[in-house]
Structure 1
Amino acid sequence: MRLPTPLIAAAFAICATAALADPAQWVREWPQTDFTRTTIAFDEVIAGGPPKDGIPAIWAPAHLPAAQETRLDDREPVLTYDPPDAPARAYPIRYLMWHEIVNDVVEGLPIAVTYCPLCNSAMVFDARVDGVRHSFGVSGKLRHSDMIMYDRETKSWWQQAVGKGVVGAHAGAVLTQLPGWMESWAEFRDRNPDGLVMDQPDWRRAYGSNPYVGYDSAARPFLYRGEDPPHGIHPLARVVRVGDRAWTFARLRAAGEIREAGVVLNWAPGQASALDSRTIADGRDVGTVRVRDAEGRDLPHDIPFAFAFHAFFPDGVWMLGD
């Protein structure tokens, strides 16, 4: 697995970083963050390598009509947000891989489009807190190998995998997750000929390449110190999380469709893994999952690795079909 140089350095420093999990050390970088308010143990937080904003979030992205986009391969994954009264929008993972957060506004609604490569966690949140718009950046900190975001307004820290405030003025607050899903660019484009796609950001990055080559075939998650998932499930196996329930990709892929607990899950081939080959478009086929209720309405969900589900939902329900 080839990882960015800052992350390699962080791996060697993991023990030292854990020892420095002390708010007194963080205050210099985060003078406006209220470290007296927290919902987590500070020794669970480690440095991911890049500093605060070292992975630059995107503010006010530009969009193109889907018909005008020529850079994306048909198999490349995008994170889709389909609002009820506006054209659907696609956020290519080739950009989220390098920026992790996109702050956007759709028909007056501020949203945070997020992706953590180390957990494969991709979610869209309503970016309002108590009715007030917030904007989010990348803190450079990890917990259970998942990105800790921060808001620019109060400098509170937020756990991306669950959308919860964990440190600062908003500790304990929860962002509303919106229905969004990962699918191939071809699927989005063919279904939404009048849709919009995020344009390439004006940054010098190797867009279209994967800096985490072979990650989702690795033996262990990167910068993760927790226990493995139960039932012999591989830590880096993909699962479909709906609330506190998880279905394995392996089970869903074999069945094609599963109807359980008021949820309808469908799997279809055609989407490349973003965390496999050096070029994202060449990644092996992991397929696309759609998650709906019994009436056919899209449900908020996530497709994290199994270790992340277990870390953030230790009492979660594994839907194994036994």
Structure 2
Amino acid sequence: MLLRSCLVVFTLLSWGAAADPENWRGEWPNTDFSRTSVDSWAEILSGGPPRDGIPALDNPQFVGTDDAQGIGAREPVITVEIAGQTPRAYPLRYLTWHEIVNDSIGDVPIAVTFCPLCNSAMTFDRRTSAGVLTFGVSGKLRNSDMVMFDRETESWWQQALGQGIVGDMTGVRLKLLPSWMESWQEFVTRNPEGLVMAEPAYNRSYGRNPYRGYDSSARPFLYNGELPPHGVRPLARVVRVGTRAWPLARLAEVGEVREAGVVISWRAGQASALDTGKIAAGRDVGSIRVRDGQGRDLAHDVMFAFAFHAFWPEGEWMLGAQ
């Protein structure tokens, strides 16, 4: 045990020593490290792959639901529905390996993102005061969450926040668009004429989960922060709306809650993308929809509890009757 503790301390000290802009400038010559909202560079760790080692996708191709092949009925997809446009599904069998898709729906340029380590799936409007940005995967993590970068200014962005944290765009927030994770079958049933992202032209084991058993782990990968309060398991899923979090387990038990001006509904049928080695065989974690009192979809995230606590330490836990 002592040897293991010493190795952990040595690893943490090594990370802290490596977390220095002077060690990053060769890979990031155009990033302005003098501008940042990060308290300590030691918060930013290497996730393993280098810049673009996880290749983001640009201008993806789409096929109709009848022409899609290989997607299991329970496999999760990120659904984006923009008024006046054909609904689109972005399967996690692809996003698990690419994490970011730069796309446009009508005249709206979007970035569909998925951080497997936080289970965070969010869609952003790519329009900013600096123009339309194109995002890539930096290979860096903060609180185990993906740090994105934009190719136009080479600023770094926190995916969970949709906010610039290093460089010219520090402090800028991207507009979060309503999107949600649901099963492929749910998408097809509701949108038989919908579109689904076609399989990318990369040599990847699409449909396989490289994070096998991750969402049953006791601790997150490369996370050294405080664990959630109230006895909530660190890798339990929560539905985040603004600064509030509803445990998915509570929603699965009651089916629907109407609180704090939102209506959150749960239904069975969606496989976890972070359970078994084959995504389609993952255990059922269900799907949720978040709407306001008028039935309009609201922007939200379904993330792991540790990530919510890390980025919203003063956030409100909607645990129900105690």
- Residues 1:234 and 1:35: Cα distance change in structure 2 (over 3 Å): same
Give the equivalent residue in structure 2 for 1:152. 151
For the Cα contact (< 8 Å) 1:159–1:165, is it kept in 2?
A: yes
- Per-residue deviation, 1:70: 2.1
1:67 & 1:265 partners in 2: Cα distance? 30
User: Hey, what's the Cα distance between the residues in 1 that align with 2:128 and 2:165?
Assistant: 14
For residues 193-235 of structure 1, give each alpha carbon's deviation from its aligned partner in whole angstroms, at most 9, with x where no partner exists: 1110000000000000000000000111011000110000000
Deviation string 1:225-248 (CA, Å, 9 cap, x unpaired) is: 001100000000000000000000
Aligned to 1:292: 291
> CA–CA distance in 2 between the matches of 1:13 and 1:211?
24
Tell me the CA shift for residue 19 of structure 1.
Answer: 1.9
In the comparison of the two structures, how many residue pairs are matched? Answer: 313
Unaligned runs of 5+ in 2: 1-9
Q: Residue 115 of structure 1 corresponds to which residue in structure 2? A: 114
- C-alpha change, 1:131 and 1:31, in structure 2 (3 Å) is closer
Alignment-derived partner of residue 58 in structure 2: 59
Q: Mind listing any 5+ residue stretches in structure 1 that lack a counterpart?
A: 1-11
Matched with 2:267 is: 268
TM-score between both structures, scaled by the size of structure 1: 0.95
Partner of 1:94: 93
In structure 2, the residue matched to 1:80 is 79
Equivalent position of 1:32 in the other structure: 30
Moved over 2 A (4+): 12-15
Deviations 1:73-107 (A, max 9, x none): 00000000001110100000000000000000110
Identity %: 61
Deviations along 1:261-303, one digit per CA (max 9) or x if unpaired, are 0000000000000000000000000000010001000000000
Asked if the contact 1:213–1:277 (Cα under 8 Å) also holds between the matched residues in 2, the reply is yes
Computed over aligned residues only, the root mean square deviation of the Cα atoms, in angstroms, reads 1.4
- Kindly indicate whether the alpha-carbon contact (under 8 Å) linking 1:14 and 1:46 is maintained by their aligned counterparts in 2: no
**Aligned equivalent of 1:19, options 14, 17, 25:** 17
Q: Is it true that 1:106 corresponds to 2:105 in the alignment?
A: yes
Q: Distance in 2 between matches of 1:110 and 1:18?
A: 37
Question: Aligned partners of 1:92 and 1:13: how far apart in 2?
Answer: 35
- 1:25, CA displacement in angstroms? 1.0
1:190 and 1:267 map into 2 onto residues whose CA distance is 17
